Amino acid sequence: MIPLARVLGEEVGAVIGAFHRANGVELLPETQISACAGSERLEAVVTGSGDRLTCDFAVLGIGIEPTVPAFAPAIAQANGVLVDERLRAGAADVYAAGDVANHLHPIFGRVRVEHYNNAEKQGRAAAHSMLGSTDPFDYIHSFWSDQYEHNLEYVGHAAKWDELVVRGSMEDGKLIGFYLLDGVIQAAVGLDRGGDPELDTDSEIAACARLAGARARLASGQLADERVNLWSLV
């Protein structure tokens, strides 16, 4: 198992894993915890293979499943509440936003996104729809993560891809990565490079958001070539 491999792929995920190891973190993929040990407080955990790992505390990540309120049993559901491009559910005067909303995005198709940025903007969009707006929620999804002194920015939405094009250096851990499917840009990641797509509106990653939103079809060589300004491709 490689950190963030499902979202970023194994190559970029391996770079993230290296950040953790450089900070003294031991990654034990595919390891199961069979028991906790300690008298008055947690002192160790025992793995399925019998190894005892001394620790002061444990953090459990058990995943998430969308929970639909009991008052809405008749609303269509599939991996969350099904809503249209204006965040309207299948019952009159019912809207959904945030993690629970399986949204018909005009560019990305049907997606359910579990990111802070999306929930923040989607709630406002649902309110606008309630007040009569006919504008679709077409936000180009983005998320960020700080890993120690390193920063990650991601724009677009790539459920799958068949090519990763890198601008920069995977070895140095400073890069822009483009996720392509049949030659079309689905998403991009900036690792210690590119800026904030929403605050730095003239940054590389902001250009990537425009390219992902346009579903641009570009040659891999152009995307990887440092001499080509990304904004010239928008």
Cα dihedral 49/53/57/59 (nearest 10) = -40
Task: Provide the whole-model pTM.
Answer: 0.89
Which pLDDT score is estimated for 29?
Answer: 86
Number of H helices, E strands in the chain: 4, 11
* Separation of alpha carbons 224 and 227, rounded Å: 9
* pLDDT reading at 73 higher than 70: no
Paired sense of beta strands 52-54 and 81-83, if any: unpaired
pLDDT band at 69 (very low <50, low <70, confident <90, very high): low
Q: Where in the chain is the domain with CATH 3.30.390.30?
A: 142-233
What are 128-183's pLDDT values in tens digits? 999 999 999 999 999 999 999 999 999 999 999 999 999 999 999 999 999 999 99
* Separation of alpha carbons 39 and 57, rounded Å: 13
Residues 102 and 110 sit within 8 Å (Cβ to Cβ): yes
Residues 175 and 151 sit within 8 Å (Cβ to Cβ): no
* Separation of alpha carbons 164 and 9, rounded Å: 9
Residue with tokens 């249209």: 84
Which pLDDT score is estimated for 150?
Answer: 96
Q: Where in the chain is the domain with CATH 3.50.50.60?
A: 64-139
Looking at domain 64-139, does it have CATH number 3.20.20.10? no
By C-alpha distance, which of 29, 32, 34 is closest to 14? Answer: 29
* pLDDT reading at 64 higher than 80: no
Residue with tokens 């190894």: 51
Q: What is the CATH number of domain 142-233?
A: 3.30.390.30
Q: How many angstroms separate the most distant Cα atoms in the chain?
A: 64
Which residues are CB-neighbours of 39 under 8 A, at least 6 positions away?
none
